Amino acid sequence: MDLTPLAARSLSGLLEQVTGQQLASARRWRLETALHPVMKDHNIHSLDMLAAMVAQNGSATLREAVVEALLNHETSFYRDLAVFKAIAGDVLPAMAGSRSDARRLRIWSAGCSTGQEPYSLGLLLAAQETQWAGWSIDILGSDVSPQAVQQARQGLYSQMEIQRGLPITELLARFDQDGEHWRIRPQGQARLGFMVHNLLDAPPPGRFDMILCRNVLLYFSAERKRQVLDRLASAIAPDGVLVLGAGETVMGHTEAFEPHPDLRGMYRPARQGWR
């Protein structure tokens, strides 16, 4: 299918308008592959026709389908295992000490896609069950994609999704087979909640002790990165920890966070923001 530069800009522009995420010119090859099912469902014969219909204030259903198709849902259980080892070995023990009086912990996995990251956090905490006995722990997963959030709420994963990062011992201990899929057992969902949320909007209410926003800022412009980081700063506890992806940093984008002095690759609210 031929795609004119104008149509490519129109379709990628819709994605950025709605979600803030940019589709770099080097990645515009994804347009044809990602949008083919949308065109088939709506009986549209070319990408240029699709772009024209979207530009002419096409139906909300069509616009939502285009945005959904262009979102990147790449994720896996325990993605970047070193991060989860640092959370288990450094972040959580420190928080267990500093919050021993309140015995409450709130974690936000922002941009969680289909839920593997928040479920990995839940499994990690379940493995430390004795340490967290008597604590109130809430893990919130959010994503801009309603379809991804729906799957996360179901806790239902294909064999391929399960094989990506989930140890066989945890699969057998925490999941039940459901046809050709695997579903996390109810006790594995007890601490978790999910919601559709756009990072360009105000954050969920309350303060979070730890926020994970990994491999999301990669797709934002510099100005949008600053806006998102500032919103995250307004949602994090004064001594909270922000976890970004390996290729992401707050440096040069915001003064609301600074590198954590003890945790490599993690960040804390900047001193001028402490309350």
Go through the domains of the chain in sequence order and give each one's CATH number: 5-70 (no CATH), 81-273 (3.40.50.150)
Residue % of the chain over a pLDDT of 70:
97
Within 10 angstroms of residue 233's Cβ, the number of other Cβ atoms is 21
Within 10 angstroms of residue 192's Cβ, the number of other Cβ atoms is 23
List C-alpha distances in Å: 206 to 148, 170, 195: 24, 31, 15
Q: 11-16, long-range: CB within 8 Å, 24+ apart, which pairs?
A: 11/35, 11/47, 11/50, 11/51, 11/54, 11/66, 11/70, 12/70, 14/54, 14/63, 14/66, 14/67, 15/66, 15/67, 15/70, 15/71, 16/221
pTM score over 0.85? yes
Mean pLDDT, range 193-213, rounded to an integer = 97
Per-residue pLDDT reduced to its tens digit, 226-235 = 999 999 999 9
Per-residue pLDDT reduced to its tens digit, 255-270 = 999 999 888 889 999 9
Per-residue pLDDT reduced to its tens digit, 59-114 = 889 999 999 999 999 999 999 999 999 999 999 999 999 999 999 999 999 999 99
Q: Is 80 helix (H, G, I), strand (E, B) or coil?
A: coil
pLDDT the model gives residue 275: 37
Token pair for residue 223? 């100005």
In angstroms, rounded to a whole number, what is the distance separating the alpha carbons of residues 44 and 83? 44
Could you identify the residue written with the tokens 């050709």?
180
pLDDT the model gives residue 244: 97
List C-alpha distances in Å: 201 to 72, 148, 231, 236, 275: 19, 18, 8, 15, 23
pLDDT the model gives residue 23: 87
Per-residue pLDDT reduced to its tens digit, 24-74 = 776 777 888 999 999 999 999 999 999 999 888 668 899 999 999 999 999
Statement: residue 274 has pLDDT above 50: no
In angstroms, rounded to a whole number, what is the distance separating the alpha carbons of residues 107 and 141? 9
Q: Is 100 helix (H, G, I), strand (E, B) or coil?
A: coil
Residue type, 121: L
pLDDT the model gives residue 26: 66
Average pLDDT score over the chain: 93
Greatest Cα-to-Cα distance within the chain, rounded to the nearest angstrom: 63
Per-residue pLDDT reduced to its tens digit, 141-171 = 999 999 999 999 999 999 999 999 999 999 9
Could you tell me the pLDDT band of residue 139, with boundaries at 50, 70 and 90? very high
pLDDT the model gives residue 4: 85
**Helical packing angle, 30-41 and 5-19, nearest 10°:** 80
Residue type, 192: L
Token pair for residue 212? 């994970």
In angstroms, rounded to a whole number, what is the distance separating the alpha carbons of residues 251 and 233? 14
